[in-house]
Amino acid sequence: MTTTFRYAATCPKSVEPLLAAELRALGLAEVRETRAAVTFTGPLEAGYRACLWSRLASRVLLNLTEFPAATAEELYAGVAAVPWEGHLAPDGTLAIDVVGTTSGLTHTRFAAQKAKDAIVDRLRELTGERPSVDFERPDVRVNIRLAREGALLSIDLSGTPLHERGYRTPGEQAEAPLKENLAAAVLVRAGWPEVAATGGTLVDPMCGSGTLLVEGALMAADSAPGLMREHWGFSGWLGHDAEVWHALLDEADDRAEAGRTRLGLIAGYDADARAIELARACAKRAGLGGAITLRQRELTELTAPEGALPGLVVTNPPYGVRLGEAEALAPLYATFGERLLAEFDGWRAAVLTNDETLARATGLRSTSAHTLYNGTIEAKLYRFEVSRGQTRAEVRRAPEARSAGAQMLANRLRKNLRHLGKWARREDVTSYRVYDADLPEYAVAVDLYEGVGAHAGRRFAHVAEYAPPPEIEAAVAEARLAEAVEVIADVLEVAPGDVAVKVRRRQRGSSQYEKLASRGEFVEVAEDGLRFEVNLHDYLDTGLFLDHRPARAMVREMAEGVRFLNLFAYTGAASVYAAAGGAVAINTVDLSETYLEWARRNMALNDLDELKGVRYFATDATRWLAEERRRVESGLADPYGLVFCDPPTYSSSKKMTERTFDVQRDHVRLIDDAAALLGAEGVLIFSTNLRTFKLDDEALAHLVVEDITPATIPPDFARTSRIHQCFLVRKG
Fill in the DSSP letter of residue 515.
Answer: B
Q: Name the average pLDDT for the chain.
A: 90
Nearest to 225 by CA among 216, 237, 235, 233: 216
Predicted pLDDT at 363: 84
pLDDT digits (tens, 9 = 90+) for 33-44: 998 999 999 999
What's the pLDDT tens digit per position in 493-530?
Answer: 888 778 888 875 444 444 344 455 556 789 999 999 99
Residue-by-residue DSSP string for 257-319: HHHGGG---EEEEES-HHHHHHHHHHHHHTT-TTTEEEEE--GGG--PPTTPPS-EEEE----
pLDDT value at 393 more than 60: no
HSE at residue 692, side-chain half, CA atoms within 13 A, is: 5
Domains of the chain, start order: 5-156 (3.30.2130.30), 180-220+262-394 (3.40.50.150), 399-513 (3.30.750.80), 545-731 (3.40.50.150)
- pLDDT tens digits along 625-678: 999 999 999 999 999 999 999 999 988 776 676 678 999 999 999 999 999 999
Whether the per-residue pLDDT at 399 is higher than 70: the answer is no
Contact 48, 33 (CB under 8 A): no
The three-point CA angle 154-159-164 to 5° equals 135
How sure is the predictor about 357, in pLDDT bands with cuts at 50, 70 and 90?
confident
Q: Coil, strand, or helix at residue 324?
A: coil
Q: What predicted TM-score, i.e. pTM, was given to this entire model?
A: 0.59
Sequence letter at residue 510 = S
Who contacts 585 (Cβ-Cβ below 8 Å, separation ≥6)?
Answer: 563, 564, 613, 614, 615, 638
Asked if pLDDT for residue 67 goes beyond 80, the answer is: yes
User: Which pLDDT score is estimated for 563?
Assistant: 97
Distance from C-alpha of 26 to C-alpha of 7, rounded to nearest angstrom: 14
Q: Is the CB of residue 406 less than 8 Å from the CB of residue 484?
A: yes
Mean pLDDT of 110-116: 97
Check pLDDT > 50 for residue 395. no
Question: pLDDT-based confidence at 397, cuts 50/70/90?
Answer: very low
Share of the chain above pLDDT 90, in %: 74
pLDDT, position 390: 54
pLDDT of residue 588: 98
Among 314-318, 507-511, 620-624, which is the least confidently predicted range? 507-511
Asked whether the predicted pLDDT for residue 392 surpasses 50, the reply is no
Give CA separation, 650 vs 452, 506, 507, 613, in Å.
34, 10, 8, 31
Q: In angstroms, what is the C-alpha Rg of the chain?
A: 32
Greater model confidence, 484 or 573: 573
For 526-550, give the DSSP string.
EETTEEEEE-SSSBSS-SS-GGGHH
Q: What does the pLDDT look like over 699-713, one tens digit per residue?
A: 999 999 999 999 999
Instruction: Give the pLDDT band (50/70/90) at residue 326.
Output: low
The pLDDT of residue 322 is: 44
Q: Which of 134-138, 222-226, 405-409, 720-724 has the lowest mean pLDDT?
A: 720-724
